[in-house]
Amino acid sequence: MATLAQPSLAFTHLPHPSPVPVDVRKAALADPGFGKLFTDHMVSIDWTEGEGWHSAAVGPLQAIPLHPAAAVLHYAQEIFEGLKAYRLEDGSMALFRPEANAARFNESAKRLAMPELPEDIFVQACRELVAVDKDWFPAVDGGSIYLRPFMIATEPFLGVRPAKQYKFMVIASPAGNYFKSGAPAVSLWVSQYTRAAPGGTGAAKCGGNYAASLVPTAEAFARGHDQVLFLDAAEHKWVEELGGMNLYFVFDDGTMVTPPLLGTILPGITRDSLMALARDEGLTVKEERYSIDQWRADAASGRLVEVFACGTAAVVTPVGRVTDPVDGEFVIGSGGPGQLTGKLKDRLVSIQRGQAPDPHGWVMRLG
Ligand SMILES: *Cc1c(COP(=O)(O)O)cnc(C)c1O
């Protein structure tokens, strides 16, 4: 969908008339969990065909009126992003690679026939929200404010075509550590379901992909596993990713492998950042297809020493074991967190928190 030349938008500021009382907020922030608590404000920007983006506002977090025929409710024209605001050593706040989220958001928009949002407006929206809700930063170790930018089709109609009205929003959720006890190694269940097919929407960050992953994820949980592992749709052989995290394989010769971005895998920003950091460390990183049979064989021979999953929410999560419904379980290394996994996680987290130099210019300081 073509994007009209967009003059920069002025945000209207409507402070919350009755924000959450300070004592209530402080009590909630002592144990924020993940995705359960929301700050006082939200950003909203509307798009209308012929007019482009307009009515940008930072206002009270509240329910949004939606016509029952709004296109998002019927044909799932919805995309989203996820990024965190961190507190740096010096007490100031920062975003991590928000332009990368903005660029990916537009790739998702194109695939879902939605209008693109100029990257600077996406970033500004995130900055505005963090600025107004900075008191919601959780004091807990590993805390952050998780930002959820998203876009929905709001036009009321029941035809199958791209909508002519959309709403872009950003909401914010204070977050503790995604996994309560730090990062224990997780157990994966190899799903018979697939997440994404060639030519489908696997590379777009859209709610529809997640809707389709709920049954496989529930199945993994019911069988006592932590996460679901998806193989490719065509051959059911090549490792793709987890429900919401990319995968890395670490071998005893110092090489790392991650599945290539061929349109069925979400191009993770954590995946990309870790690739750069691993190369900085002198490791060889290959984007190569890797089969589940090879994985099992390499785990057995000891050639494969560590496996980890990565994504914004949990950063880096070691994978300890894998269970296939046909061939049964296998264990990677000792079944616990690996050394390189921990090292790469520390490298990334210390850059995100301003405790280490930022050679790639990833950290965007907020005023
Ligand atoms: C968001 C997401 C990821 C991780 O992306 P990051 O940018 O690293 O947070 C991986 N897989 C899926 C399916 C996702 O939706």
Residue 202 in contact with ligand 1 by CB distance below 6 A? no
Domain shared by 156 and 216, yes or no: no
Question: pTM for the complete prediction?
Answer: 0.95
Domain shared by 43 and 165, yes or no: yes
pLDDT at residue 244 above 50? yes
Ligand 1: which of 146, 193, 246 to mutate, judged by most atoms within 8 Å of the beta carbon? 246
What per-residue confidence (pLDDT) applies to 206? 98
- Phi/psi of residue 115, nearest 5 degrees: -70, 145
Task: Retrieve residue 208's tokens.
Answer: 């529809």
Q: How many whole angstroms separate alpha carbon 364 and alpha carbon 119?
A: 14
Q: Which helix (H) or strand (E) holds 207?
A: helix 207-222
Mean predicted confidence (pLDDT) in 125-141: 94
Tell which residue, 143, 130, 145, has the closest CA to residue 41: 130
Last residue of a domain, one of 177, 206, 233: 177
What per-residue confidence (pLDDT) applies to 141? 81
Could you tell me the distance, in angstroms and rounded to a whole number, from the CA of residue 82 to the centre of ligand 1? 8
Last residue of a domain, one of 159, 177, 195: 177
Question: Relative to the CA of 272, which ligand 1 atom is closest?
Answer: 8
What per-residue confidence (pLDDT) applies to 171? 98
Q: Which domain holds residue 229?
A: 186-352
Mean predicted confidence (pLDDT) in 30-59: 96
Tell which residue, 105, 54, 137, has the closest CA to residue 366: 137
Q: Do 231 and 194 form a contact (C-beta atoms < 8 A)?
A: yes
Domain shared by 170 and 222, yes or no: no
pLDDT at residue 90 above 90? no
Could you tell me the distance, in angstroms and rounded to a whole number, from the CA of residue 20 to the centre of ligand 1? 31
pLDDT at residue 170 above 90? yes
Which residues on adjacent β-strands are paired with residue 173?
146
pLDDT at residue 180 above 60? no
Which residue's CA is the nearest one to ligand 1's atom 14? 244
Could you tell me the distance, in angstroms and rounded to a whole number, from the CA of residue 312 to the centre of ligand 1? 7
Question: Relative to the CA of 100, which ligand 1 atom is closest?
Answer: 7
Q: Which of 96-105, 178-187, 192-201, 315-324 has the lowest mean pLDDT?
A: 178-187
- 2 pLDDT band, cuts 50/70/90, is very low
The reply to whether 361 falls in a domain is: no
pLDDT at residue 302 above 90? yes
Helix 269-280 to helix 339-352 angle (10° resolution) is 110
- 320 pLDDT band, cuts 50/70/90, is very high
* Domain at 103, CATH number: 3.30.470.10
What per-residue confidence (pLDDT) applies to 348? 96
What per-residue confidence (pLDDT) applies to 7? 58
Domain shared by 193 and 173, yes or no: no
Last residue of a domain, one of 109, 144, 177: 177
Annotate 246-289 with DSSP letters as a single string: EEEEEETTSEEEE---SSSS---HHHHHHHHHHHHTT-EEEE--
Q: How many whole angstroms separate alpha carbon 343 and alpha carbon 49?
A: 49
* Side-chain half-sphere exposure of 46, counting CA atoms within 13 A: 14
Question: Relative to the CA of 312, which ligand 1 atom is closest?
Answer: 9
Single-letter code of the amino acid located at 331: V
pLDDT per residue as tens digits for the range 7-33: 578 999 999 999 999 999 999 999 998
Rounded percentage of the chain residues whose pLDDT exceeds 70: 96
What per-residue confidence (pLDDT) applies to 6? 59
Domain shared by 66 and 153, yes or no: yes
Q: How many whole angstroms separate alpha carbon 164 and alpha carbon 351?
A: 41
Rounded percentage of the chain residues whose pLDDT exceeds 90: 90
- Phi/psi of residue 276, nearest 5 degrees: -65, -45
The reply to whether 105 falls in a domain is: yes
Residue 240 in contact with ligand 1 by CB distance below 6 A? no
What per-residue confidence (pLDDT) applies to 1? 45
Which residue's CA is the nearest one to ligand 1's atom 15? 244
Question: Relative to the CA of 243, which ligand 1 atom is closest?
Answer: 13
Residue 246 in contact with ligand 1 by CB distance below 6 A? yes
Radius of gyration of the chain (CA): 21
Domain shared by 121 and 153, yes or no: yes
What per-residue confidence (pLDDT) applies to 178? 65
Ligand 1: which of 217, 266, 317 to mutate, judged by most atoms within 8 Å of the beta carbon? 266
Long-range contacts of the stretch 5-8 (C-beta < 8 A, 24+): 6/52, 6/53, 6/118, 6/121, 8/120, 8/121
What is the pLDDT of the chain when averaged over all its residues? 94
Could you tell me the distance, in angstroms and rounded to a whole number, from the CA of residue 295 to the centre of ligand 1? 22
Residue 84 in contact with ligand 1 by CB distance below 6 A? no
Q: Exposure of 182 by Cβ count < 10 A (0-12 exposed, 13-18 middle, 19+ buried)?
A: exposed
- Phi/psi of residue 359, nearest 5 degrees: -65, -25
Residue 227 in contact with ligand 1 by CB distance below 6 A? no
Q: Which residues of 224-241 are buried (b: 16+ CB within 10 A; e: fewer)?
A: ebbbbbbbbbeeeebbbb
Q: How many whole angstroms separate alpha carbon 104 and alpha carbon 82?
A: 11
The reply to whether 317 falls in a domain is: yes
What per-residue confidence (pLDDT) applies to 177? 75
